[in-house]
């Protein structure tokens, strides 16, 4: 437990437990969630160099699940996604713009800076820390909708993975939070992925000892699930 607390205090983090998991796992996750919300965002690195014109630039925006806390750079989901897409013959570069402890409000403050990179696709995996900090889901939805609209105005295609909260935070809150993502996707036309951690959350084999951050193998599952939605975005770009 001491190791768990030390790890979680390093960073505000998103995770959730699926509704059908055993209560013992839900309780363990809830402890981690409540501690995770205390982390402060780290300072983002400067924007990377521009992508060559023949490549599509994919910008992965999010919190520590995007940044890849606890795994090597090559094991993060953006790095693995780039490798998978290139293996499938796509000329792409995936930029990791994850910031540990990030909230939707923090992302909204830096989105114009991020969009200076002129991404072709943006994967917007944000909002989990909002839930952990019990921020009103209405405000989180407002921020995420504003982010999607701002990104779309830059002419980038948005992939919006869904996030969820465990029932320990309250059934009403969890239900309200869950509906944010499909509703924003429907209103904006963003490509919707139902749950970012599908097949990973709750599986001890795919998570680090803190039982919150995925391992490299866990991120491999994330990428496998995410690939069809990113390929859909690429097809939209190629059809223009």
Active-site residue identified among 63, 120, 130, 210: 210
List residues bridging with 121 in a β-sheet. Answer: 58, 157
Long-range contacts of 24-29 (CB under 8 A, 24+ apart): 25/202, 26/166, 26/167, 26/168, 27/168, 28/211, 29/166, 29/168, 29/202, 29/211, 29/212
Active-site residue identified among 15, 64, 100, 104: 64
The residue among 29, 38, 28 whose CA lies nearest residue 6 is 38
Element at 146 (helix H, strand E): helix 137-153
For residue range 30-65, what is the model confidence (pLDDT) as tens digits?
434 433 443 445 555 555 555 666 899 999 999 999
CA 29 to chain centroid: 18
> Where in the chain are the domains?
2-238
Assess whether 63 carries a catalytic annotation.
no
| This model's pTM is above 0.85 | no
Assess whether 175 carries a catalytic annotation.
no
Cβ atoms within 10 Å of 58's Cβ, excluding its own: 26
Is residue 37 within 8 A of residue 8, CB to CB? The reply is no
Q: Residue 62: how many CA atoms within 13 Å on its side-chain side?
A: 29
For residue range 92-148, what is the model confidence (pLDDT) as tens digits?
999 999 999 999 999 999 999 999 999 999 999 999 999 989 999 999 999 999 999
Assess whether 203 carries a catalytic annotation.
no
CATH number of 2-238: 3.40.50.1110
């Amino acid at each position: 437990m001491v190791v768990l607390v030390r790890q979680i205090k390093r960073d505000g983090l998103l995770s959730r437990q699926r509704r059908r998991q055993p209560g013992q796992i839900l309780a363990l996750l809830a402890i981690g969630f409540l501690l995770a919300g205390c982390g402060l965002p780290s300072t983002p690195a400067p924007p990377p160099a521009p992508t060559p014109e023949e490549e599509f630039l994919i910008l992965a925006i999010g919190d520590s699940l995007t940044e890849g806390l606890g795994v090597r750079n090559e094991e993060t989901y953006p790095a693995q996604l780039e490798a998978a897409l290139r293996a499938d013959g796509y000329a792409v570069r995936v930029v990791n713009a994850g910031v540990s402890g990030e909230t939707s409000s923090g992302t909204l403050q830096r989105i114009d800076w991020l969009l200076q990179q002129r991404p072709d696709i943006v994967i917007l995996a944000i909002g989990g820390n909002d839930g952990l900090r019990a921020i009103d889901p209405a405000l989180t939805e407002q921020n995420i909708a504003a982010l999607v609209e701002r990104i779309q105005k830059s002419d980038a295609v948005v992939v919006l993975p869904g996030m969820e909260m465990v029932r320990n935070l309250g059934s009403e809150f969890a239900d309200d939070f869950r509906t944010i993502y499909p509703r924003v996707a429907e209103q904006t036309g963003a490509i919707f992925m139902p749950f970012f951690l599908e097949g990973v959350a709750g599986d001890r084999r795919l998570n680090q000892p803190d039982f919150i951050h995925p391992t490299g193998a866990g991120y491999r599952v994330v990428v496998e699930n995410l690939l069809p939605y990113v390929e859909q975005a690429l097809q939209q770009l190629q059809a223009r």
